[in-house]
């Protein structure tokens, strides 16, 4: 059974929210600047959501690990 594209998009968005919060927190702890941390997080959220979507779609084409 293959996932629909909308499921991949939903998973991408929910994961990015969690992961971006983590990135912002780590960036803040390293830099001490909420402005820099938010800048890093805002760039990271866009690039990694796009990368994750294509990664998810590629894995969806593989039969590896499926019954």
How confident is the model over 18-23, as a mean pLDDT? 92
User: Given the structure tokens 């499926």, which residue do they identify?
Assistant: 66
* Token pair in block for residue 33: 């600047």
Tell me if residue 66 falls in helix, strand or coil.
coil
Is it the case that residue 30 has pLDDT exceeding 90?
yes
Instruction: Please say whether the beta carbons of 37 and 24 come within 8 A.
Output: yes
Tell me if residue 32 falls in helix, strand or coil.
coil
Is it the case that residue 40 has pLDDT exceeding 90?
yes
Q: What percent of the chain has pLDDT over 70?
A: 100
Tell me the average pLDDT of the chain. Answer: 90
Is it the case that residue 67 has pLDDT exceeding 80?
no
The structural domains of the chain, with segments of one domain joined by +, span 5-61
- Which one, of 9, 14, 17, lies nearest residue 42 by Cα? 17
How confident is the model over 8-35, as a mean pLDDT? 92
pLDDT of residue 29: 98
């Amino acid at each position: 059974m293959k996932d629909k594209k909308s499921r991949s998009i939903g998973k991408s968005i929910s994961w990015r929210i969690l992961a971006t919060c983590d990135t912002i927190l780590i960036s803040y702890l390293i830099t001490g600047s909420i402005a820099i941390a938010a800048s890093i997080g805002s760039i990271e959220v866009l690039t990694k959501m796009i990368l994750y979507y294509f990664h998810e779609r590629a894995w969806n084409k593989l039969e590896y690990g499926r019954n």
